Chains A and B, each alone.
Chain A
């Protein structure tokens, strides 16, 4: 069974600074995808970034980058130059190919201070 662990229930960061949100995963599958989503208070789950298990390069999307360390089974999200609008809950998730199920972590609440 797949498992995602996010050990930081809450994080604070100063505006314009970088922050790393931790995620470790456990799976016996060779092929899988790792995702990060942002969920503001409105509830919508916003896709941020994706990393495939066979991708050798770390994924980047604008201010978001995913620090993928396969041997350690970690997929940390790095947000550079934090903005006030980044304050939200962040979820790490894993998905297998051809499987509609994603397994989510418990989430990390990020608060950006002005």
Chain B
């Protein structure tokens, strides 16, 4: 079974631009969660999508948004990038039901200059 894939793996953007990151979950998994990891703040939950609906949301500004498609693939968008958005963005997939195991992708490392 293929694992969680994220594209692109590395990205360099300029302040004020926007960016879209993609995550393809494990086949059969309907839940995709996004996390931001920075040295100062650690791992912080952004949001979770389950069956194309946002089910949970963390404490991030509205510049961070996401969506999920019918094939469970998810995209995360960050508009008006700030230097502080430089981070490793991880997505994780799970069945989204009773089973709790969650599997992570390799991450997208975003650098904002």
Residue ranges of A at the interface with B (Cβ–Cβ < 8 Å): 32-33, 35, 37, 42-47, 50, 52, 91, 95, 97-104, 106-107
- CB–CB A104/B55 < 8 A: no
Write out the residue numbers on chain B whose beta carbons fall within 8 Å of the beta carbon of A44: 104-107
Q: Does B12 contact A (CB under 8 A)?
A: no
- 8 A-B residue contacts at CB 8 Å? A35-B100, A37-B104, A44-B106, A47-B101, A47-B102, A47-B104, A99-B48, A100-B45
* Residues 33-59 (chain B) with a chain A CB within 8 angstroms: 33, 35, 42-43, 45, 47-50, 55-56, 58
- CB–CB B105/A101 < 8 A: no
Instruction: Choose one: A32, A46, A107; the contact of B42 (CB below 8 Å).
Output: A107
Write out the residue numbers on chain A whose beta carbons fall within 8 Å of the beta carbon of B101: 33, 35, 47, 50
Stretch at the interface among B14-22, B75-83, B88-96: B88-96
Write out the residue numbers on chain A whose beta carbons fall within 8 Å of the beta carbon of B97: 98
Q: DSSP majority for the B interface?
A: strand
- 10 new A-B pairs (CB below 8 Å) besides A98-B98, A100-B47, A100-B48? A43-B88, A45-B107, A97-B98, A100-B31, A100-B32, A100-B102, A101-B33, A101-B45, A101-B58, A107-B42
- CB–CB A91/B94 < 8 A: no
- CB–CB B104/A101 < 8 A: no
Residue ranges of B at the interface with A (Cβ–Cβ < 8 Å): 31-33, 35, 42-43, 45, 47-50, 55-56, 58, 88, 90, 92, 94, 96-98, 100-107, 109
- CB–CB A102/B92 < 8 A: yes
Give the shortest distance, in Å, between A62 (CB) and chain B (any CB).
Answer: 16
- CB–CB B56/A91 < 8 A: no
